[in-house]
Amino acid sequence: MNFMTNHRIGPENGEKQSPDSPVLMPFALIGRTVMDWVNRMGSAAIFLSKALLHILGRKQLFKTVQQIYYIGARSITIIMLVSLFTGMVLGLQSYHALLKFGAAGAVGSLVSLSLIMELGPVLTAIMITARAGSAITAEIGIQRISEQIDALHTMRINPIRYLISPKLSAAIISFPLLTAVFDLIGILGGYVSAVVLLGLNGGVYVHSISTYVDWRDINNGFIKSIVFAVIVATVCCYQGYFAHMRRDSHGAQAVGLATTSAVVTSCVLVLVSDYVVTSLLV
């Protein structure tokens, strides 16, 4: 008896190997995952381009203003709160660190540059994702599973034009504005901790900012915030819009998972794209 023949794994007599065979399974799995990822990226890109195409429609202004209120105006409080404490912590930490080198006068520039170039756009994007992004996914997801999006199709209303484009344009307008608010309040927070609480000279704090921060830094921060706006709006809308296509769940559970997925994906993509955009702008 040939021992090896009984345990041989693989094709015999020119037989084709099924992708489900134990040997090919890991490769098939990787292949499927990659294909799936490529498909989703392609589909998201088409989704984004369709949404961009309808941003400037005749009847879009009112809907965009409405969305600016939901995404932007209603996020101001949380953005102000987070930015104030971020600025205060930055001021506190940098004051003590720079004091060791006798450079406490540079606290203002350190706080402001950190906020304007990095923390402002990134934290604003993450906070809006948590507050408005999740709501967008849940709203669109529910509209999908309750056939409201199908109803739009039957009424010959383009659902992407009606639902997605106003949210995308509102995000593109709101993100830089909220980033600006974040930067200003953050710098004020740094002033409170470094000047008011720790006794640094106020004039030195302001002078340091005006000396080291230039328009290019501010513009770069805004460019980042626009990139993040497009990413967050696309990911959140896309996840909700295709909540019914999820393989892992159906109905309300699919909307819940789509919302979680939208928040996690948005945050990860914001951080990844932050590096990419920074490396291109530096």
Binding interface with other proteins (CB under 8 A): 59, 143, 146-148, 150-151, 153-157, 162
- 93 or 148: whose CB is closer to other proteins? 148
CB of 165 to other proteins, least distance (A): 13
Name the residue nearer to other proteins (CB basis): 146 or 201.
Answer: 146
Min separation Cβ 59 and other proteins, Å: 7
> Angle at Cα 224 formed by Cα 34 and Cα 212, nearest 5°?
140
Query: Looking at beta carbons only, is 4 or 155 nearer to other proteins?
Result: 155
Q: How far is the CB of 60 from other proteins (least distance, A)?
A: 11
Report DSSP state, residue 16. Answer: P
- Joined together, the tokens standing for residue 169 give 């344009």
Nearer Cβ to other proteins, position 6 or 154?
154
Least distance between other proteins and beta carbon 175 (Å): 23
DSSP structural state of residue 147: T
144 vs 224 by CB, closer to other proteins: 144
In terms of Cα–Cα distance, which of 226, 212, 236 is closest to 111? 212
Q: Which is nearer to other proteins, 53 or 81 (CB)?
A: 53
Please state the closest distance from residue 139 (CB atom) to other proteins, in A: 8
Distance CA 111, CA 204 (A): 13
CB of 145 to other proteins, least distance (A): 10
Angstrom distance (rounded) from CA 99 to CA 105: 9
The Cα 130–Cα 270 span in angstroms is 13
